[in-house]
Amino acid sequence: MKKTLVGTILFTLFWPLSVVAETNIDVAFSPSLDCEQKLVKLIDESQDYIDVAVYAINNTPIMQALKNAHKRKVNIRILTDKLQASGKSSGVRDLYDFGIEIKVHSKNKLEHNKFAIFDGKVVFTGSFNWTNAATHKNSENCLFLHQEPEVVQKYQSRFNELWLMNSPQKSTLWFEKNS
């Protein structure tokens, strides 16, 4: 009887940990370097492509990692919010001028998503904008979902839908107007 009770107690205590381990979910919070460092690591490890839908971007280490990935010939597509992109602290123009493929939204009022797909294997999502403030000042969260094919496919489908509905011509005009 004691072995069964001890086993039940141990199972009850450690079962939630095994579920997280089996589902390959990594959670991080800010303000801290956790989300930023995990994103940079994923960008650095990407070999084929990175698809990003993000409201705001100006985080220096993340932007540098994206530039390095672009130099390695990783295909990068970024969809971002046009209002945030036109802000004085935005890094969108810098990434665009570097040659990274960027579209500013032209359909919805805001492009408020914060997710990315890395090589079709990992999804990042959460409230974390790719900004210095999100890393150092804001209370944010981020989830990294590794090897979850159904989740990856849903996010990839949504990204592809958003990418197609936002006109490359309107993005080009926006960048020309805001140069």
Sequence ranges of the domains in the chain: 25-177
**What is the pTM assigned to this prediction?**
0.86
User: Does the structure show a pLDDT above 90 at 167?
Assistant: no
Measure the CA–CA gap between 42 and 122, rounded to whole angstroms: 8
Residue whose pair of structure tokens reads 């450690």 in the numeric block: 14
Q: What is the pLDDT of residues 68-89, one digit of tens each?
A: 999 999 999 999 999 899 999 9
What tens digit of pLDDT does each residue of 109-157 get? 889 999 999 999 999 999 999 999 999 999 999 999 998 999 999 999 9
- What does the alpha-carbon distance between residue 33 and residue 156 come to, in Å, rounded to a whole number? 26
- CA distance linking residue 170 with residue 174, whole number of Å: 6
- What angle (nearest 5°) sits at the alpha carbon of residue 146, between those of residues 44 and 164? 75
User: Pick from 127, 120, 129, 108: which is nearest to 155 by CA?
Assistant: 120
Query: What CATH number labels 25-177?
Result: 3.30.870.10
Q: How much is the pLDDT for 14?
A: 52
Which is nearest to 53 in space by CA: 133, 100, 126, 112? Answer: 112
pLDDT-derived band of residue 4, with 50, 70 and 90 as boundaries?
Answer: low
- What per-residue confidence (pLDDT) applies to 131? 97
Nearest Cα to 56, choosing from 23, 24, 16, 89? Answer: 89
Look up residue 147 and give its DSSP letter: S
